[in-house]
Structure 1
Amino acid sequence: MVGWQRHLQSAIRQIGKRVECSYNPSANFSSSSSSRLEGVLPYFQTLCKPSAPTISRPLHQYFQHLGISSSRTLLAEETPSPSPLTPLLTSKTGKDEEHKQKSLTKPDKVQAILKGIKQSPKKVNLVAALVRGMRVEDALLQLQVTVKRASKTVYQVIHSARANATHNHGLDPDRLLVAEAFVGKGYFKKRLSYHAKGKCGVKVRAECRLTVVVREITPDEEAEIAKLKVKNFVKLTKRERRLVPHKLIETTPIWNRKGKARERERNGAAA
């Protein structure tokens, strides 16, 4: 037992002895005071009982052994009070459950938007119309062989839309279709265009925004695609050709092809 605990125990014993010595029924005490002392005396007698000297125990256990309730027992007996953070925690868990339910319900369409494209809307729309209505895999393959500057931009947006559909909403990447691909007008910045004789004009720096919407192929469209793959030597409509592209459309420039062929022939003859 610690030293201060021993001093406390000895002080309690001395108080008990004093009370026992002062307790005398023949003394000039009133009945009320004697009744009080009668109730206090057995309590101090229990306090003055010596405990086993060889056993060293904590102070709260010593008080429990003597019959004095300590703070630890009081805290254990009390009912736990609700924490002020419990409503916040419940609200957070509720939001998590709602988010899980929303993730389980797959949306019909998923989109990706790119703003501030430094190119005119007409030029970007030429490439967007090329892959509009195609399957995502075929559209990405088509854009890889397209020799247009906007093809890289459209490729990135379609790739981002596919990533949004698969990662955020759990759609099947093999069954995705480019449902919509449209271009909107952005800021047309006006700049000075310098001419001869100290004159100047106005040139426009066009910007646009591209929106690509993808969706999953329906079972009817899958059946139609399977039928179209079997058919041979049948003239397909524009929509059917987009669903089942039999060949990649080459969009290389048509000018100066003869000149390139002649240069190759000359190089081959010289070699």
Structure 2
Amino acid sequence: MVGWRRHILHSIIRRVGNSPHRNLSAGVECSSGRICLAPLPGHFPFLQRALGLSSDVIPRSFYRYLQESGISSSRKLLAESDANITPVRSPLTPVLAIDSGKTESQAVVSKPSKVQAVRKDIKQSPKKVNLVAALVRGMRVEDALLQLQVTVKRAAKTVYQVINSARANATHNHGLDPDRLLVAEAFVGKGYFKKRVSYHARGKSGIMVRPECRLTVVVREITAEEEAEIARLRVSKFLKLTKRERRLVPHQLIETTPRWSRKRTPE
């Protein structure tokens, strides 16, 4: 393989050696008809190994052929481009920060309209979790957390944690007011339904399904119109409120289970 490559290179050198152009852009001519390179020993290492030359001397005709063909090494290209290099704007850099000359701390950060929190792999049926999610959907965050504390359902703890996480994301990450947050959306998605073996009598067996789901809670700040409506509903009395108005201003906690089926707790 090396002999074949060396044969091809020697044929190229012999073809170029009869060219009338003798001027060179770089290098110093030695007495032996070769070009002594500048102290950059790593120009063409694979060619020098193939031709059996030293690290600082290559034939003049071959060097001229490489110069006329525009072939060079990465070291020389980098050395020549250092003087004329111009900075290029990165596509990942914000345009406003570069044009205005402001730092990241001085730049105005716009608050998002909605912030969400997602919990995956909930070991419960989507229908059961959605019953609790629909209970607090449309409530203020403070009222929703208070309602979930008295809700006697296993999914109440999961929904409470996701709403609390969404409030923390909106407060600490995006700078929203925690007292003006509203549960805009609370929806449940279906996850993996794992199938397991269920053993029956008389040596028979069946399939037992263990469902999973995911819960997404989206919170947002209350608008000025909603604040005015809440203030009006709190002042007015003896009015029959709609379902949406009762969620904005819950006058009493909603009972989710009958009183006689609850477990008595020691006082």
Greater C-alpha radius of gyration? 1
Aligned length: 179
- The equivalences for 1:251-266 within 5 A come to 251-256=256-261
Match of 1:199 in 2: 204
Match of 1:145 in 2: 150
Q: In structure 2, what residue type is equivalent to 1:200?
A: S
Q: In structure 2, what residue type is equivalent to 1:144?
A: Q
Give the share of equivalent positions with the same residue, in percent: 75
Q: In structure 2, what residue type is equivalent to 1:130?
A: L
Match of 2:216 in 1: 211
Is residue 236 of structure 1 aligned with residue 241 of structure 2? yes
CA distance in 2, matches of 1:245, 1:151: 18
CA distance in 1, matches of 2:243, 2:225: 18
- The equivalences for 1:130-141 within 5 A come to 130-141=135-146
Gaps of 5+ in 1: 1-80, 261-271
* Residue of 220, 238, 253 corresponding to 1:248: 253
Q: In structure 2, what residue type is equivalent to 1:248?
A: L
- The equivalences for 1:114-129 within 5 A come to 114-129=119-134
- SS of 1:122's partner is helix
Match of 2:9 in 1: none
Going from structure 1 to structure 2, the CA distance change for 1:95 and 1:232 (only over 3 Å counts) comes to: same
Q: TM-score, normalised by structure 2?
A: 0.60
* Residue of 227, 230, 238 corresponding to 1:225: 230
- SS of 1:174's partner is helix
- The equivalences for 1:1-271 within 5 A come to 97=97, 104-256=109-261
Going from structure 1 to structure 2, the CA distance change for 1:93 and 1:132 (only over 3 Å counts) comes to: same
RMSD: 3.0
Spell out, residue by residue over 1:203-241, the C-alpha distance to the aligned partner (whole angstroms, 9 max, x if none): 100000000000110100000000000011111000000
Bigger share in strand: 2
Shift of 1:251: 2.1
Q: In structure 2, what residue type is equivalent to 1:150?
A: A
CA distance in 1, matches of 2:191, 2:225: 38
Going from structure 1 to structure 2, the CA distance change for 1:222 and 1:203 (only over 3 Å counts) comes to: same
Spell out, residue by residue over 1:82-138, the C-alpha distance to the aligned partner (whole angstroms, 9 max, x if none): 9x9x879x8887599497688711111111110000000010001000000000000
Bigger share in helix: 1
Going from structure 1 to structure 2, the CA distance change for 1:164 and 1:246 (only over 3 Å counts) comes to: same
Q: Please tell me whether the aligned partners of residues 189 and 206 of structure 1 are also in contact (alpha carbons under 8 angstroms).
A: yes
CA distance in 2, matches of 1:181, 1:102: 33
